[in-house]
Amino acid sequence: MNMTVHVDIVSAEKEIFSGLAEMVFAPAELGEVGISPRHAPLITKLNPGEVRVKVNVNESYQFYISGGLLEVQPHLVTILADTAIRAKDIDEAAVLNAKARAEEALADKSGKVDYATAQSELAQAVMQLRTLDRLRKRGG
Partner 1 sequence: MAVGKEIRTKIGSIKNTQKITRAMEMVAASKMRKTKDRMQATRPYSKKIGIIIKHLAQANPEYKHPYLITREVKRIGVILVGSDRGLCGGLNSNLFRKMLAQLIQWDKENIEVDVCTIGTKASGFFSNLRVNLVGQVSKLGDSPHLEDIVGVIKIMLDSYEAGRIDQLYIVSNEFVNTMTQRPTIEQLLPVVACELDENLSGHWDYIYEPDAKDVLDYLLNRFIESKVYQGLVENNACEQAARMVAMKSASDNAGNLIGELQLIYNKARQAAITQEISEIVAGAAAV
What is the contact surface with partner 1 in residues (CB under 8 A)? Answer: 8, 10-15, 18, 28-30, 40-45, 69, 71, 73, 78, 80, 82-84, 86, 91-92, 94-99, 101-102, 104-106, 108-109, 112-113, 116-117, 119-120
d(CA 91, CA 22): 37
Least Å from the CB of residue 9 to partner 1: 9
- Output the CA–CA distances (angstroms, integers) from residue 65 to 5, 34, 59, 60, 104, in the order listed: 20, 16, 20, 16, 36
User: Which residues, in sequence order, are bridge partners of residue 60?
Assistant: 54
Closer CB to partner 1, 91 or 138, in the complex: 91
Closer CB to partner 1, 86 or 135, in the complex: 86
- The bridge status of strand 23-28 relative to strand 42-54 is antiparallel
Closer CB to partner 1, 57 or 64, in the complex: 64
Closer CB to partner 1, 4 or 11, in the complex: 11
Least Å from the CB of residue 57 to partner 1: 28
Rg (CA), the chain: 27
- How many other CB atoms are found less than 10 A from the CB of residue 66? 15
